[in-house]
Amino acid sequence: MCCSLSSRPPTDVGSNAGSIGGLRFDLPEFEKKGVRSYYERNLCQAPPAMTKRNLDERVAVVTGAASGIGRAIAQNLAGKGCHLALVDVDESGLEETRSIVARNDRRCTTHIADVSDKARMQALPDEVAAAHGQVHILVNNAGVSVGSFFADHSIEDAEWVIGVNLWGVLYGCKFFLPHLKQADWAQIVNLSSLFGFFGMPGQACYSMTKAAVKALSEALWTELANTNVSVTSVHPGVIRTALISSSRIEDPEEREKAVEMADKYGLDPDKVGRLVARAIERKQRRLIVGGDARASQWLSRAFPNGFHSMLTFAFKKANVTGMQDQERDPAEVGGARKSPQSTEKRAR
């Protein structure tokens, strides 16, 4: 009786490597050790040879394209020959991105849209199709962040984060899917985060949305498996983008520290852009970018309780506001008391 498990080993890292049970291996070396014979014996089917899809003349929609990761993805897809529909609320940033990708002699349109606006997102696919004729690739990249403990979070800030990070992705997938199914092949790319693997203190709502994006992507892997549409979930670590500087953070000093940390330790957004383009070419299901993201995934899986105990210890040792063992005046919640800074790493 033939097993129905996937015939491909997971390739969770952004390099020519893969992982099984958290152990990294080099694909050519692993193949020498008999992975194909293992699949033939145990799963009744050898994994297919890795083939690259040609992105030339394909139409790609990129949300959050005015800066950061979105701009980098747009540049790299244009370099692969894609025509682009750039989406953002920042009109000047969109024009700057358009002028950059225009050097590749590709057709490029800009669309001012708030991805959390249901009516605007519902109209967007027809608008893009009218300009380009069809849609092959959707990159749900737009994202925002608020640096604050949950008790200090205003409901309005939570609604803002959920609206852009979660509803924006859901609207994109739902409303573009009929157009994507009309193509010979299509790809959805959803930007999650390293915080999609664990809940980060001071980023409760952000972590919630990124875990939800990860779960949505994984559900679509199976639901769309027998269609022409593939799905990729992307989990970047610390990236040098404007996400932190544009986050809603009360304390300017803490904001500056967070920005300095990202500038010092973060990866260049272009690396994410290059790896996303390659993931689309290879129909890669999950892409983890950065050693911090890979370590976070492994630690949260290997030590689900201990990992959060370490976070609690680290936050208390750093004397982070809100982690001290003391009662709080309800009048302080959301008020004068400073909220901890965003240590967020991701990027748009």
pLDDT value at residue 2:
47
Gap between the Cα atoms of 298 and 296, Å rounded: 5
pLDDT of residue 310: 81
Three-state SS letters, 84-110: EEEEECCHHHHHHHHHHHHHHCCCEEE
Q: Which is it for the CA torsion 73, 75, 78, 84, positive or negative?
A: positive
- Count of CB atoms within 10 A of residue 253's CB? 10
Positive or negative: CA dihedral 260, 72, 143, 197: negative
User: Residue 164: which of 88, 272, 94 has the closest Cα?
Assistant: 88
Output the CA angle 225-347-300, nearest 5 degrees.
65
Known catalytic membership, residue 265: no
**What domains can you pick out in the chain, each with its CATH number?**
1-50 (no CATH), 59-299 (3.40.50.720)
- Kindly give the confidence (pLDDT) of every residue in the chain, 348 residues in length, as a single tens digit, with 9 standing for 90 and above: 444 444 444 444 444 444 444 444 444 444 444 444 444 444 444 344 467 899 999 999 999 999 999 999 999 999 999 999 999 999 999 999 999 998 888 999 999 999 999 999 999 999 999 999 999 999 999 999 887 888 888 999 999 999 999 999 999 999 999 999 999 999 999 999 999 999 888 889 999 999 999 999 999 999 999 999 999 999 998 886 555 545 555 555 555 655 556 555 558 899 999 999 999 999 999 999 988 899 989 988 898 888 778 877 777 776 655 544 433 343 333 333 333 333 333 335
Of the candidates 38, 39, 171, 206, the residue annotated as catalytic is 206
- Which parts of 193-244 are beta strand (E)? 229-236
Query: Partners of 58 in the beta sheet?
Result: none
